[in-house]
């Protein structure tokens, strides 16, 4: 069901909780645009035993960003470069980190550090 939700939502996640009488349960949280609410509700009601939903409108602050792609050793590595005031930050996309880790047989942390250095070699030197 998470895959179906992620096709229409911005994000979704489970949180373990305790209900009345200390019954264990999972809370499903979904962040989506207003236009997608009905579609999200349909997915939840069709794929869970839930008989009701609570909806809360939230505001979102986002940083200006640009997507950057670097071809490296047969892989396309994707980054977000975000801007806040007078600073910018680079965030490798998780899938790129995972792909590099698998290709080079290294840990996710090592791959994350390697991708940041690949970006530095390309754009900061």
CA 91 to chain centre: 12
42/95 Cα distance (integer angstroms): 28
CA 94 to chain centre: 8
Angstrom distances, CA of residue 28 to CA of 2, 41, 51, 53, 119 = 10, 12, 13, 10, 36
Per-residue pLDDT reduced to its tens digit, 96-125: 999 999 999 999 999 999 988 888 777 765
Q: Do 55 and 36 contact (CB within 8 A), yes or no?
A: no
Q: Say yes or no to pLDDT of 69 above 80.
A: yes
Q: What is the pLDDT of residues 41-66, one digit of tens each?
A: 999 999 999 999 999 999 989 999 99
């Amino acid at each position: 069901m998470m895959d179906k939700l992620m096709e229409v939502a911005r994000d979704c996640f489970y949180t373990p909780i305790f209900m009345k009488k200390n019954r264990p349960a999972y809370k499903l949280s979904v962040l989506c645009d207003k236009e997608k609410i009905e579609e999200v509700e349909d997915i939840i009601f069709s794929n869970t035993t839930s008989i009701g939903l609570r909806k809360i409108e939230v505001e979102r602050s986002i940083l200006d960003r640009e997507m950057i792609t670097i071809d490296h050793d047969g892989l396309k590595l994707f980054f977000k470069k975000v801007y806040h005031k007078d600073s910018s930050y680079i965030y490798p996309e998780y899938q790129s980190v995972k792909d590099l880790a698998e290709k080079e047989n290294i840990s996710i942390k090592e791959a994350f550090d390697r991708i940041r250095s690949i970006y530095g070699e390309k754009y900061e030197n």
